Amino acid sequence: MQPGCSWSGSRPQLPGPGRGLRTSPGPGKHLGLAALLALLILSGVGAASAAPGAGETKLPVAASILPLGDFCQKIGGPQVSVTVLIPPGASPHVFEPSPAVVAEAVQARVFVYVGAGLDPWAERLVKSRPRPEDVRVVRAVDALPPGESLIRDVTPHRHQAHDHPTQEGEERRGPKAQAGVGHARHSEDGNPHVWLDPVVAQNLCRLIAAALMSADPEHQALYQANLERCLTELEALHQEIQSQVATFRIREFVSFHPSFTYFARRYGLKEAGVIEMAPGREPTPGHLGRLIRDIKRYGVKAVFAEPQLNPRVAEVIAREAGVKVLVLDPLGGRPPYGNDYLKLMRHNLTVMTQVLQ
């Protein structure tokens, strides 16, 4: 198979060290970020990140989540070594970097993360590097097209002051959200899930390509060619979703977490309700009651859960409302789509079609 950014064909398996995307180990014993960086600097781990070593053949790239890593790999092709810092199955909202993750990140010459409070440790890590000017940084939230901005309040008509939990509520996390101690800050910084809009994904790929070209101008022609192929495939995905959503009879949906808000805005859907504004922030009884009433009011046929988060509350709501629980995946990393963004998005579209068409 010809190397490049083709979105189809065989894909490397996860985690697969040395084959395509590499993923960092799961959560382990954590130290403070500053202490970790100090240890790594003293041991010389980050010394090679300023410039390629004599034997280096690939550009080291780090991405906070799997979809961003997939973009990097497809644009960089054989010239990059991409490490995804948050392992499959973990929620970025509550992730805290382990020593292994920090060691990978400080060696990267291109660093791609989401921003808007989803992965605040990533920004701190970049700023704490010995030579921050030696790394090209891309934030996914900067890929929003002109005239579009971060969504600040995903359901303004749904969440009143008494529905927002206290800090105590942030500590009550389900078993699938025990990946660390980070905190989501959507209400402060805006909704960060911009990568789930394929139009934004096109702009994000342009930013990634520019960063790769800046860090490795010798292979600029390769990165540009791969970018053009990626943009073509992403535009085809956008057109496919647009055509499919046009056939939906039901435009409203209820999700566990506001991951698909930008997707909804792009394609004219309505997020009628969100169960948890942030992982671990359990909804109040009053909020649950309103969600159940809205599910019946809009004729919603299913509640969308996520594989990275505990579905218990979604199952309770679905049972009370008499609807199904289906799973939408914002991150990927599991069968049948693995680490392929296009396969992930087409899978999510298929799930939506089951209950919205």
CATH of the domain at 129: 3.40.50.1980
3 state SS of 3: coil
Q: Which residues does the chain have with pLDDT short of 70? A: 1-20, 24-56, 153-188, 278-280
Residue 95 is predicted with a pLDDT of: 84
| Residues 6 or more apart in contact with residue 334 via CB below 8 angstroms | 88, 89, 307
Regarding whether 211 and 342 lie in a shared domain, the answer is no
Distance CA 63, CA 74 (A): 13
Residue 153 is predicted with a pLDDT of: 59
How many C-beta neighbours within 10 Å does residue 346 have?
A: 16
270 in a structural domain: yes
Residue 93 is predicted with a pLDDT of: 75
Contact present, 345 and 198 (Cβ < 8 Å): yes
Q: CA-based angle 253:259:264, to the nearest 5?
A: 50
Regarding whether 300 and 174 lie in a shared domain, the answer is yes
Picking from 202, 236, 270, the residue at the C-terminal end of a domain is 236
Query: How distant is the alpha carbon of residue 70 from its chain centre?
Result: 11
Q: Where are the alpha helices (DSSP H) in the chain?
A: 33-43, 66-76, 99-107, 120-127, 167-170, 186-189, 198-215, 220-245, 261-267, 285-298, 312-321, 341-356
Residue 87 is predicted with a pLDDT of: 87
108 in a structural domain: yes
Q: Tokens 């396969």 — which residue? A: 343
13 in a structural domain: no
Query: How distant is the alpha carbon of residue 195 from its chain centre?
Result: 6
Distance CA 317, CA 314 (A): 5
14 in a structural domain: no
17 in a structural domain: no
Strands 110-113 and 80-84: unpaired
Question: Following DSSP, what letter does each residue of 147-161 receive, concatenated?
Answer: T----S-S-TTT--G
Regarding whether 280 and 229 lie in a shared domain, the answer is no
8 in a structural domain: no
Question: Following DSSP, what letter does each residue of 243-277 receive, concatenated?
Answer: HHHTT-S--EEEESSGGGHHHHHHHT-EEEEES-S
321 in a structural domain: yes
Regarding whether 350 and 325 lie in a shared domain, the answer is yes
Regarding whether 120 and 35 lie in a shared domain, the answer is yes
Distance CA 326, CA 336 (A): 15
Regarding whether 336 and 276 lie in a shared domain, the answer is yes
Regarding whether 170 and 316 lie in a shared domain, the answer is yes
Regarding whether 168 and 109 lie in a shared domain, the answer is no
120 in a structural domain: yes
Distance CA 180, CA 227 (A): 34
Q: Provide the domain count of the chain.
A: 2
- CB burial readout 30-43, b (16+ within 10 A) else e: beeeeebbeebeee
Query: Where in the sequence is the domain holding 318, given as residue range(s)?
Result: 161-185+248-356
Regarding whether 256 and 113 lie in a shared domain, the answer is no
Distance CA 235, CA 43 (A): 45
Regarding whether 142 and 175 lie in a shared domain, the answer is no
Question: Following DSSP, what letter does each residue of 34-83 receive, concatenated?
Answer: HHHHHHHHHHTGGGGGSS--TT--SEEEEESSHHHHHHHHHHHGGGEEEE
Regarding whether 209 and 295 lie in a shared domain, the answer is no
Residue 182 is predicted with a pLDDT of: 30
Regarding whether 142 and 31 lie in a shared domain, the answer is yes
| Residues 6 or more apart in contact with residue 126 via CB below 8 angstroms | 111, 113, 132, 135, 137
Residue 152 is predicted with a pLDDT of: 86
